[in-house]
Amino acid sequence: MADSELGLSDLKAGLVVSGIVPDQSVTIVAVRPMNGAVTVYYDAGDGSTFGQEIIDQQSVQHLSLVQQSSRSLPFDANPEEFRLAAEALRIKYAAQYDPMSAVYSSNIDPLPHQIRAVYEDMLPKVPLRFLLADDPGAGKTIMAGLYIKEMLLRSAAERIIIACPGGLVEQWHDELSSKFGLEFEVFDPYMQVLSPTGNPFRDHQLLICRMDQVARDDDRLAMLGDVHWDIAIVDEAHRMSAHFKSAKGDITRTSRYRLGETLSRTAENLLLMTATPHSGKEEDFQLFMALLDPDRFAGKYRSKIHHTDTKGLMRRMVKEDLLTFDGKPLFPERRAETVDYRLSPQELDLYEHVTEYVRSGMGQADRLKAAGDARRGNSVGFALTILQRRLASSPEAILRSLERRKQRLSQRLDDLEHDSRVIDAPVVGDGYGADRFDEDQYEDMWEEAAEDQQHDLESRLDEVVDSATAAQTKEELIVEIHTLDVLVAEARVVRNSGQDAKWRELSSILSDNVLESGSSPMPHKLIIFTEHRDTLNYLQRRVVTLLGRPEAVVTIHGGLNRDERRQRQHDFVNNPAARILIATDAAGEGLNLQRANLMVNYDLPWNPNRIEQRFGRIHRIGQKQVCWLWNLMARNTREGDVYLRLLSKIAQMKTAYNGNLFNVLGDSDAFEGRPLKDLMIDAIRYGDRDDVKAQLNRTIDSSVANGLEELVKEKSANTSMYPSLDVRKVRELMEQTRERKLQPGYIAAFFLAAFKRLNGAARLRESQRWQLTHVPATIRSKAASLNRHEQLAQAYERVTFETSRVSLRDDTPDAILIAPGEPLLTAVIELIIERFGSTLDHGTVFIDRTDTQPENPVLMAAAEQTITDGRERVISQHFDYLQIPNNADPQFSIAPPYLDYEPARADEQPAVRLVLDSDWIRNDQSGLVRDWVYTKGTRPRLDELTVRKQADNARVLQQVRDRLQAEIEYWYAQYNILLENERNGRANKRMTASAAQKRAQSYERRLAAREQELGADVRLHAKPALIRGMALVIPEHALHEQTDVEDVVPRRRPRLFAKDTTMVDRRAVDATLSAEKHEGRHPHEMPHNNKGYDIQSVDALGNRYFIEVKGRIAGAEETFTVTSNEVVFAQTQKERHFLSLVIVSPEGADHDRIRYIEHAFDRIVPSDSTTSYNERFKDYWDRGTDPR
């Protein structure tokens, strides 16, 4: 068509014009009138150029019509193939249709605080820079998994890396796999050798790495820095610490902090996770927060100049504030008791003699370090510390340790006879030299070790404890061995005497709380924590003897491999006969043991926050009972007195075992700049001096008080860190999206039909569980092409679409959950779109044969709406269905109506062609669809997001200005002072005036850049709606009454049913509405042609219920019909869906009878060839109950 001139009134959606973009034609998407002008929204057609332009009377003269839209869809596609392709597309873009798709397609039971974190605090932030700092046990891994899966489903992420301590790697891997169907790879050094690109981080899209494995290797850290990540997550992120080393702001960065800086620089979205974000030092906390925003936390913290504002950057919720959806506390009460006892005279003598040996050895170690031999001094000091802790553990532990130490030193004496250099030999090799085995290094190595490596680490520790000696000559070694002879003999006497005061206290606890637990069908289970394997073995023997049943005791320790630990955990949790778990700290991390509610700390760790970690194994989500903890401590010992003072002081303040306080006290310098373990060593070495005792007591008292004061101050000063949880609002958020759920019903219906269409074979086994006996090679090849790491099996023993059916209690195998994002479903979707996707471009014709068919034909369209920011990052995406009648406004539809429609029969084709030849259908309606979607959907959302983004930018800009302006003023003030001093000959060697001036100018440049970024007008862009498919839906009656071309659509619809049908339907709906009100709910009747259900009802808590109503006249209640959409919707909503059956009495409404059926259609297996089901009324009536 030749170019033609246009006026303002001619500009309409769908026109193709030139003159807006130079040398390019564009399609008008929408037009908004203005005073004397219009705003034109256009699409350049290249998939990337979208924009808007104000056109007035003058500029419209430069526009020319290039092409007028014409009918673009022939509506000739196969209806069944169209239906499959349309559902494939809907599920592929599940997150655009169902805003909480990740929740319903994951094997989790989400909680209000988790939903709020992901869907209110994290997903709306683009890009994300966030610290999730909820208490231990709040399910931070679940929140991270939900965020990851939602981002993947929204196509907002492909490359994701998770960095965490080595001991948590397997837990992350297992939870992401079992709960979210996400298969991450675990980084291993061999990947570096096998990497095709030379950079293993570039080769793998979903990766979990051990924090120190990368942080402490400069080459790996450099390779990591060369790769861009869509999402980076760091667990236990507080380990990425840094410290200011001078007043001028110089920073000492740990290797882990440099890892954090690398991820902050290379990741589009950064999520940090820790339950201990604040160690008590504000300047260190602000350095940590600078990983998220260097400008908001620039420079060294100065209390009189800066203030802490973390709004928008972090969230912290403590256990006491967490609630269920019913508004009840999520965690039960927890109680702790200190059980103090006194050593027997024999035990006390042994304690004093061994302690004297330790004190003497520590003095020798100090002399070694003073003489320059720090390597041996550290080794000896660490070994003796562990020996002292084993002394406090049990007679068995100290006996075995002394025996091994004597044996090792005797062997060294024998070797010395042949080689005098042996006395100076290192006690441990292979990179774990004795000089590295101090307390802090060992803690780091333990936390970074994989489960299967912990046994080796324990063995290396034993080598140090058993052989590190301060003896420098043969004579000194002989004297030490002689001392050990005496101690071994004394320890053996104590062990053999059976006089173990600590065991007596434990046996009393067991007798009162385990043996005397009554006849409860769920008897109490108890966990005993010890630090030492010898004590574990000792306790196992004694507890088995006490209980009289070996099967009642389970042990977990570092000598077990990963599979053995998981099996023993499973036995303890699931076997009713297993009552007691005895564990070292190998079970203190990564295991969920809330089946138990009782715990004993047989050995108290020298790091207080280990108590919280241990207690967190049972006091976590899912625990229903009050949790009890007993701490055993000897009163007449030096270290016992220290811990008793600490525990009693906490109890006085009524904050016993509040994780917040213990996390602060577990910091490396919580006790006046020193950790608790240093106080313990002081007590051991100098605890018999009154002045030392008094100083230790003062330190403990003041540190507990200060720690609590800091926590209270932090919470009151930083309310944004500690948000309150509005359960009602979170529930409302979930309920608003419930109607759009796809899992399980719609996913099952699509997959089974598509899998069959692709020549797969599936057999129903147990209820809602299928066996896939044949997965075609085409599906397996497609999965491999999508992800070379995903290898599908040729058959699957069980699959399911229902999360509750993944694992059964019987011996049947676990099932694979088929849900959005799962590789098998993804491959099937892609193949269906490949084969039948073109049907969406062609369009198709459906016939509506339901009893709610409309008067006239309608067009049905699927439209995708997208809003982006200035960097083309997707801010919002929606997938909606519209029904477009002739000469009337389109209407949005929640459910895709095509599931209930059928293809036209051969005898109906002539009438179909008459409808297709009507002017209304011949004219392209895509412009109308795009204009309507923009006006009624995209534009209001765009305005809402723009206002929100402007407010966020304004808040962040103010925070940045406050901080950077303060730094600028500070450094210019320093510049003036330094300059004056330099002029007077008093130059500062550490900082020059020029350096201070450069520092101020650097902050000025950073402020200018952020002002330009955040101060500009927010420009969000609405992309033209993508029409993802269009179909013509013709009511059946219209086809049967065609008379000629001029009368395509009849003016009225004939009655299809008996004259009483309307009355029966009305009475049935009225009876159901009345029943709902009687039950205290608030019902709302849906439009007559609503797809899926007839009534939506809301209870007092805000929960929504969906009710399908079927009424029959008394005596004529033989069958009723349900559509495919009604069946699948009911299967998807599960317990939130009722089928209401009403028998309408001829005697009047007062005599009508009503019954509700829950899970009404669970027995129906969806079929790709069936759009409606004729069911026996009586069968369902007999299953029903009175409304409730």
Query: Which positions ≥6 away from 875 have C-beta within 8 Å?
Result: 126, 867, 868, 869, 945, 949, 1020
Query: What does 18-71 look like in DSSP terms, one character per residue?
Result: EEEETTEEEEEEEEEEETTEEEEEEE-SSSS-EEEEEEETTGGGG-EEEE----
Distance, CA of 1119 to chain centre: 47
With tokens 């800086």, the residue in question is: 261
Distance, CA of 502 to chain centre: 42
Percent of the chain topping pLDDT 90: 28
Give me the half-sphere count of Cα atoms (radius 13 Å) on the Cβ side of residue 59.
15
Q: Which residue ranges in the chain fall short of pLDDT 70?
A: 1-5, 23, 44-50, 66-72, 247-248, 279-280, 303-308, 419-459, 466-467, 515-522, 586-591, 649, 651-680, 683, 685-724, 1041-1060, 1089-1090, 1168-1169
Residue from 454, 508, 374, 515 nearest 167 by CA? 454
Query: What does 827-886 look like in DSSP terms, one character per residue?
Result: HHHHHHHHHHTHHHHH-EEEEE-STT--SS-EEEEEEEEEEE-TT--EEEEEEEEEEEET
Please report the beta strands in 103-167, taking only residues with DSSP state E, as ranges in sequence order. 129-132, 160-164
Consecutive H or E run containing 410: helix 395-418
Give the CATH number of domain 4-67: 2.30.30
> Start-end ranges of CATH 3.40.1350 in the chain?
1061-1183
> Start-end ranges of CATH 2.30.30 in the chain?
4-67
- Tell me, what's the pLDDT at 223? 94
CA distance 361 to 369: 13
Residue from 1181, 1187, 1138 nearest 1161 by CA? 1138
C-beta of residue 317 within 8 angstroms of C-beta of residue 111: no
CA distance 203 to 221: 15
Give me the half-sphere count of Cα atoms (radius 13 Å) on the Cβ side of residue 851.
13
Query: Which positions ≥6 away from 349 have C-beta within 8 Å?
Result: 490
**3-class state of residue 936 by DSSP:** helix
pLDDT per position as a tens digit, 1127-1164: 989 988 889 999 999 999 988 889 999 999 999 998 88
- Tell me, what's the pLDDT at 1056? 38
C-beta of residue 1149 within 8 angstroms of C-beta of residue 1110: no
Query: Which positions ≥6 away from 249 have C-beta within 8 Å?
Result: 299, 300, 999
CA distance 743 to 740: 9
CA distance 105 to 744: 8
Q: How many CB atoms lie within 10 A of CB 389?
A: 23
C-beta of residue 304 within 8 angstroms of C-beta of residue 597: no
Alpha helices (H) in 631-775, listed in sequence order: 638-652, 659-665, 676-686, 690-717, 727-738, 745-757
Distance, CA of 420 to chain centre: 59
Percent of the chain topping pLDDT 70: 84
With tokens 């699948």, the residue in question is: 1128
**3-class state of residue 932 by DSSP:** helix
With tokens 């373990």, the residue in question is: 677
Query: Which positions ≥6 away from 668 have C-beta within 8 Å?
Result: 279, 440, 675
Q: Which fold has domain 104-317?
A: Rossmann fold (3.40.50)
Q: In what order do the strands lie in the sheet with 761-764?
A: 761-764, 769-774, 796-800, 816-817
Question: Residue 903, preceding bond cis, omega within 30 degrees?
Answer: no
Q: Are strands 64-67 and 16-21 parallel, antiparallel or unpaired?
A: antiparallel
Q: What's the sign of the alpha-carbon dihedral 767, 773, 779, 781?
A: positive
CA distance 1011 to 1004: 10
Query: Which positions ≥6 away from 1091 have C-beta within 8 Å?
Result: 893, 894, 895, 896, 897, 899, 900, 1123, 1125, 1126, 1129
**454 token code pair:** 């912990």
- Tell me, what's the pLDDT at 665? 53
pLDDT per position as a tens digit, 978-1030: 888 888 888 877 788 888 898 899 889 988 988 888 877 778 888 878 888 88
Q: Are strands 206-210 and 185-186 parallel, antiparallel or unpaired?
A: parallel
Beta bridge partners of 865: 878
CA distance 88 to 92: 6
**Rg of the chain taking only CA atoms, in angstroms:** 36
Q: What is the chain's percent helix, strand, coil content, to nearest 5?
A: 50, 20, 35
> Start-end ranges of CATH 3.40.50.10810 in the chain?
104-317
Categorise residue 1106: left if φ over 0, alpha if ψ from -120 to 50, beta otherwise. Answer: beta
| Cα separations in angstroms, 1042 against 673, 906, 911, 921 | 92, 15, 6, 16
CA distance 922 to 74: 9
**3-class state of residue 263 by DSSP:** helix
Which amino acid would we find at residue 424?
D
**609-618: b (≥16 Cβ within 10 Å) or e:** bbbbbbbbbb
| Cα separations in angstroms, 126 against 151, 270, 703 | 11, 11, 41
Residue from 780, 862, 782, 774 nearest 830 by CA? 782
Query: What does 1125-1150 look like in DSSP terms, one character per residue?
Result: HHHHHHHHHGGGEEEEEEEE-TT-GG
Q: What's the sign of the alpha-carbon dihedral 844, 845, 850, 855?
A: positive
With tokens 């109607």, the residue in question is: 739
CA distance 1003 to 996: 11
Q: What's the sign of the alpha-carbon dihedral 481, 486, 492, 495?
A: negative
Question: Residue 127, preceding bond cis, omega within 30 degrees?
Answer: yes
Q: Which fold has domain 1061-1183?
A: Trna Endonuclease; Chain: A, domain 1 (3.40.1350)
